Amino acid sequence: MLQQTTVATVKGYFAKFLERWPTIQDLAATSQDELMHCWQGLGYYSRARNLHKTAKIITDQYQGIVPNSYEHLIKLPGLGPYTAAAIASIAFKEPLIAIDTNVNRVLCRLFAISAIGMTQKEQVQDVANTLAHTNHSGALSQALMDVGSSFCKSKNPKCDDCFLKSNCRAYLQNLQNVLPLKPLRPTRPKRYGHSFIMRHKTQVCIEKRPEKGLLASLYQFPTSEFSSEQTSVQYPFKATWEHIGTVRHIFTHFELELTLWETTVSNTNHGLWTELSNLGNYGMPTMFKKALSYVKT
């Protein structure tokens, strides 16, 4: 949950999550719809889907017990090198260093690594391998994380207060504000889409997104494909459509501008309909919750 998300945001979700699914087996047995509903508002929904898949694998293939080696952990959905190394070293004392952004920054500075991109990653990993030779490497990973968050901050590192300064090559060469070097960030491309809000009395039409891809298996108002250029609107059927607003949302890899159209229909014969007041029971991404604020209740 904490991936790309602050502790303050996660706190409430985490407590409710553990209350609802206290064991891995409970999580494995739940429906994806219920999980998505609980996750709505946290974003990065692939984390929830991966947690669910991993809970099922651990239940079915590992008798409900989390595997205790990096080699097995790294194969579980949603676990990358950092998380697998963190679990393996902290919980199971495997000699590995968990390299997150903080640890990467600290090691780049301590060893004055001036490479960039993949080369930087490889050099940091080499240094980490030389440090990870005891069963205390879990504690070392956590200590490096703490140095990164307490002293070796991204901006204005507190070198004067840092107990590592006499051994820190960046500090000794006055490079602490230069390292680690960062690749130039490409600008986020823009995409455009149209969303159609069909109403009948107090009901509204929704649909489920495909099981794979962006915002998979979540619910939305019927919506066009997202395109890289602003295109003229293709209404799903002939009616009087009113433009009620535009929603902007930033995804990791692009920025979306969603134009909202609303109409009233005479029956609910086609599609999935629900009371407006009941929408909270469906897992809807934040973007469509923003859209909801334009709908007159």
Contact residues for ligand SF4, defined by CB under 6 A: 106, 109-110, 151-152, 157-159, 162, 164-165, 168, 170-171, 176
CB of 170 to ligand SF4, least distance (A): 5
Q: Smallest gap, in angstroms, from Cβ of residue 146 to ligand SF4? A: 12
Residue 149 or 202 with smaller CB distance to ligand SF4? 149
Cβ-Cβ contacts under 8 Å for 267 (sequence gap 6 or more): 200
Determine which helix (DSSP H) or strand (DSSP E) holds 247, and give its type and residue range: strand 242-250
Closest separation between CB of residue 179 and ligand SF4, Å?
A: 8
CB of 83 to ligand SF4, least distance (A): 24
Q: Which two tokens stand for residue 36?
A: 């998505």
Rounded Cα distance between 6 and 59, Å, is: 29
Taking the complex as a whole, the smallest distance from the CB of residue 224 to ligand SF4 amounts, in Å, to 49
Nearest to ligand SF4 of 87, 152 (CB atom): 152
Question: Which is nearer to ligand SF4, 151 or 241 (by Cβ)?
Answer: 151
Residue 110 vs 128, nearer CB to ligand SF4 = 110
Q: How far is the CB of 143 from ligand SF4 (least distance, A)?
A: 12
Q: Compute the least distance from the CB of residue 80 to ligand SF4, in Å.
A: 25
Can you spell out the DSSP letters for the chain?
--TTS-HHHHHHHHHHHHHH--SHHHHHHS-HHHHHHHHTTS--THHHHHHHHHHHHHHHHSTT----SHHHHTTSTT--HHHHHHIIIIIT--S-----HHHHHHHHHHTT----HHHHHHHHHHHHHHH--STTHHHHHHHHHHHHHHTS-SSS--GGG-TTGGG-HHHHTT-TTTPSP-PPPPPPPEEEEEEEEEEETTEEEEEEPPSSSTTTT-EESSBPPPBSS------SSSS--EEEEEEEEE-SS-EEEEEEEEEE-S---SSEEEEGGGGGGS---HHHHHHHTTS--
Between residues 171 and 219, which has the closer beta carbon with respect to ligand SF4? 171
In whole angstroms, how far apart are CA 263 and each of 19, 197, 269, 272? 41, 6, 15, 16
Nearer to ligand SF4 by Cβ, of 66 and 159: the residue is 159
- Judged by CB, which is closer to ligand SF4: 20, or 158? 158
The most distant pair of C-alpha atoms in the chain lies apart, rounded to whole Å, by 76
Nearer to ligand SF4, 57 or 164 (CB): 164
CB of 124 to ligand SF4, least distance (A): 14
